[in-house]
Amino acid sequence: MIGRLIPREEKFFVLFRQSAELMVEGAHALRDIFANMAEAEQHARRLKDIEHRADEITHRTIELLHSTFITPLDREDIHQLITRMDDILDFFEAAAQRIFLYDIKTSPPNSRELAELCLKMAETIQMTVNSLEDLKNREAILKHCIEINRLENEADHLYRVSVAKLFREEPDTRQLIKYKEIYEILETATDRGEDVANIIEGIVLEYA
């Protein structure tokens, strides 16, 4: 009863939505890198800027968490959700940086498809996060979470197929190592997306 009488800080949902929006922007930049390697540097700079802005939102969320007495969700859920979304963008940016660190001039086979899955996952996470403030819409939120899990499974399968193909067909060992690392980073980004879905499922089950 007391908790109902004390105002809760609702700015967390605004910050969640801002973080998700930047994640989608970053996923578009990532896809553009692999779709047009001639302009990769331009899109990578764009992605770096997006990642910095997302870091600022994460820091603001954690600061707000420390200064808020009554939170709309469990404190651990808030912390995990914002940091996992930030992790996704970190991996997007890490993949872009590898392009320049390893002087890669052409898109690794299947990298476009993996980047496209990252974009679809980011967009689905955004829809899920945008619905989070209204937990009455439980079924829609859970459907989004199921779709995120499906996309992660698809990315995991594509990752395994891509690596297997590399070992069969790529004669240059150095190139193989470079491509394999990029595949791993992109697949890990989708793993963090699945983490986001699991966190949101837990929130729905606890509060809906």
pLDDT tens-digit profile of 96-142? 999 988 999 999 989 999 999 999 999 999 999 999 887 778 889 99
Q: How far is CA 141 from CA 22, 28, 96, 158, 203, in A?
A: 20, 23, 31, 26, 10
Please tell me which residue, 7 or 97, carries the higher pLDDT value. 97
Is residue 25 over pLDDT 50?
yes
Structural domain 8-207, CATH architecture:
Up-down Bundle (1.20)
Contacts of 88 (CB under 8 A, 6+ apart): 23, 26, 122, 125, 189, 192, 193, 196
Rounded mean pLDDT of the chain? 92
Res 208: pLDDT: 64
